[in-house]
């Protein structure tokens, strides 16, 4: 949808239904990604320090699968009510701006609901992701020291880099969006709205692009495997089975 807008420089089809669908998909996917990341960041504590909890089938469903299912259902239902079914008319959409002006009706017509969405559904989750990952690093190191076990700094370094990378990525991406969104709720201006629509909102795409590489890059022996694949590609073709016939003219 974004690429189609950049190709045409206008929204096509220019209808409220299309804009509702675009905003619903965009908001639901971005918000679900952040909520699941927060839930997984908390669950990781249990997976490391109390793994026996998930050996019981009922507890595994209650403490592992249900929170993840809730993270998906809550976002789908919340934005279904605030975007798809919220009263809105075509005059609220800007068919000459990316994402139809990124003006979902509840953000402009219901300040209390908009503030709840920005603070509870967005800002709080970014803080949870950061704190959960940092606290996990501290807990792992403290447990090793308490048990007087030698700390494998190579493994701890790998985990630390991964968790800090994930936390930093979510903070760097979401904090600007949160700040500009709150400013728009408190004191809206056309200049701030233009910056938010043209630049800040596009930052969320970096999460989808970079998170897989952060995870893959921290896998043990991944670099060795990649180098092996590159060497295999650069290896000259096998000449076995080929014959070279030389003829001499007399």
Residue-level pLDDT at 67? 93
Does 68 or 170 have the greater pLDDT score?
68
185-223 pLDDT, tens digit each: 777 777 777 777 777 777 878 888 888 888 777 776 777
Question: pTM for this one?
Answer: 0.73
- Out of 81-85, 94-98, 174-178, 245-249, pick the least confident: 245-249
Residue-level pLDDT at 156? 61
Does 16 or 35 have the greater pLDDT score?
35
Is residue 55 over pLDDT 60?
A: yes
Residue-level pLDDT at 243? 46
Top CATH class, 1-220: mainly alpha
Does 189 or 58 have the greater pLDDT score?
58
Residue-level pLDDT at 151? 53
Does 33 or 215 have the greater pLDDT score?
33
Residue-level pLDDT at 235? 67
Task: Look over the chain and give the mean of its residue pLDDT values, rounded to a whole number.
Answer: 79
DSSP the chain: -HHHHHHHSS-SS--HHHHHHHHHHHHHHHHHHHHHHHHHHHHHHHHHH-GGGGTSHHHHIIIIIHHHHHHHHHHHHHHIIIIISS---GGG--TTSGGGGG--HHHHH-HHHHHHHHIIIIIHHHHHHHHHHHHHHHHHHHHHHHTTPPP-HHHHHHHHHHHHHHHHHHHHHHHHHHHHHHHHHHS--HHHHHHHHHTGGGGGHHHHHHHHHHHHHTSTTHHHHHHHHHHHHHSPPP-TT---------
What is the average per-residue pLDDT within 28-45?
88
Residue-level pLDDT at 244? 45
């Amino acid at each position: 949808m974004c690429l189609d807008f950049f190709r045409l420089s206008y929204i096509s089809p220019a209808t409220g239904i299309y804009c509702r669908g675009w905003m619903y998909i965009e908001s639901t996917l971005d918000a679900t990604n952040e909520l699941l990341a927060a839930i997984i960041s908390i669950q990781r504590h249990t997976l490391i320090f109390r793994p026996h909890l998930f050996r019981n089938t009922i507890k595994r469903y209650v403490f592992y699968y249900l929170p993840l299912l809730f993270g998906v259902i809550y976002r789908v239902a919340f934005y279904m009510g605030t975007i798809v079914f919220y009263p809105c008319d075509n005059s609220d959409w800007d068919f000459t701006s990316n994402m139809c002006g990124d003006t979902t009706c509840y953000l402009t017509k219901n300040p209390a609901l908009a503030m709840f969405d920005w603070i509870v559904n967005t800002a709080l989750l970014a803080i949870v992701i950061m704190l959960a990952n940092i606290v996990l690093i501290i807990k792992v190191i403290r447990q090793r020291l308490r048990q007087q076990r030698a700390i494998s700094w190579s493994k701890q370094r790998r985990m630390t880099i991964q968790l800090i990378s994930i936390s930093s990525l979510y903070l760097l991406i979401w904090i600007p969006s949160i700040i500009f969104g709150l400013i728009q709720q408190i004191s809206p201006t056309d200049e701030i709205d233009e910056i938010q629509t043209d630049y800040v909102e596009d930052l969320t795409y970096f999460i989808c692009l970079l998170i897989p590489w952060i995870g893959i890059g921290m896998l043990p022996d991944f670099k060795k495997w990649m180098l092996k694949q590159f060497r295999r590609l650069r290896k000259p073709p096998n000449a076995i089975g080929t014959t070279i016939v030389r003829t001499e003219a007399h």
